[in-house]
Copies of this chain bind each other. A is one copy, B any other.
Amino acid sequence: MSIKLYCDLMSQPSRTLYILLKSIKCDFETKLVDLRKGEHFSDEFTRINRIQRVPVIEHNGFILSESVAIVNYLSREGIIPDILYPRDSKQKARVEEFLEWHHIGLRLHCSMYFRVKQLDPIFTGKQPEAKTVAGYENRMVQALETFSTKWLGTGTDFIVGNTITIADLFAACELEQPRMAGYDPKQHFPVISSWSKKVQEYFNPYYDEGHVIVNKVANKKKISSKI
């Protein structure tokens, strides 16, 4: 079996797949695609994924993009253990229900906050208006509120029942993103804080390994905001 993972650990779903594959002891090759250098727009990478996005896997020559499609495929191929992504139809549906919701329900808002506040100014050299940032922050906080009260905080240990699944890893990696723009969801939502500790512990040491760059950027941001 040969698996290649094209990824950049600055991208949330890239981290999810990296941490997941490491934690299940899958033998895979990491192919770094540096988004900050625009390597996803290169001819070489465009031939791999015409949509020019990471993550992408190549499994015995079969190339596939979109992280959720990738975990579905790897689950069918027997590479992801049932304990993390149940095969039982109804239990699987519960995980999928979250994964489908999280694109626009959670991911969009956390990544847009990071992009507008942190990323765009680096590329454009222009600071966003305070009102614009506040708008993105408000929408993100509303999304976090929904996540904290309607997906967590319902009496179970994890998003789907009392067992950790890939839904938890996807969500946790999304919530690390705004830390790089100075907002840590764990500081504002106690339910998220205690849940994310459990996710981090379960997937460590790979969770921390996948977040080395994120932690570096987040710490730099923390220091600069104190000056």
Chain A residues close to B by CB (< 8 Å): 50-51, 62, 64-69, 72-73, 76-77, 89-90, 92-93, 96-97, 99-101, 103-105, 107-108, 146, 150
B107-A93 in contact (CB<8A): no
B107-A104 in contact (CB<8A): yes
> What are 23 A-B residue pairs whose CB atoms fall within 8 Å in the complex?
A51-B101, A51-B146, A64-B93, A65-B97, A66-B97, A66-B101, A67-B100, A68-B96, A68-B100, A69-B93, A69-B96, A69-B100, A72-B72, A72-B96, A73-B89, A73-B90, A73-B92, A76-B89, A76-B92, A103-B103, A103-B104, A104-B104, A104-B107
Min C-beta distance of A217 to chain B, whole Å: 23
Q: Which of A66, A76, A92, A99 has the most B CB atoms < 10 Å from its CB?
A: A66
Q: Which of A50, A76, A93 has the most B CB atoms < 10 Å from its CB?
A: A93
Query: Which residue of the partner chain B has the closest CB to A103?
Result: B103
Residues of B within 8 A of A150 (CB): 50-51
Q: A69-B99, A72-B96 provided; 20 other pairs, C-beta below 8 A?
A: A50-B150, A51-B101, A51-B150, A62-B90, A62-B93, A64-B97, A65-B97, A66-B100, A72-B72, A72-B92, A72-B93, A73-B90, A73-B92, A73-B93, A73-B96, A76-B92, A103-B103, A104-B104, A104-B107, A104-B108
Q: Interface of chain A, helix or strand or loop or mixed?
A: helix
Nearest first, the 4 A-B pairs at minimum CB distance are A103-B103, A66-B100, A69-B96, A73-B93
Residues of B within 8 A of A108 (CB): 104, 108
With the chains together, A89 CA to B64 CA distance in Å? 12
Residues of B within 8 A of A90 (CB): 62, 73
Using A103-B104, A104-B104, A108-B108 as known contacts, say yes or no to A96 and B66 having CB atoms under 8 A apart.
Answer: yes
With the chains together, A96 CA to B74 CA distance in Å? 12
Using A62-B90, A76-B92, A90-B62 as known contacts, say yes or no to A69 and B50 having CB atoms under 8 A apart.
Answer: no
Residues of B within 8 A of A104 (CB): 103-104, 107-108
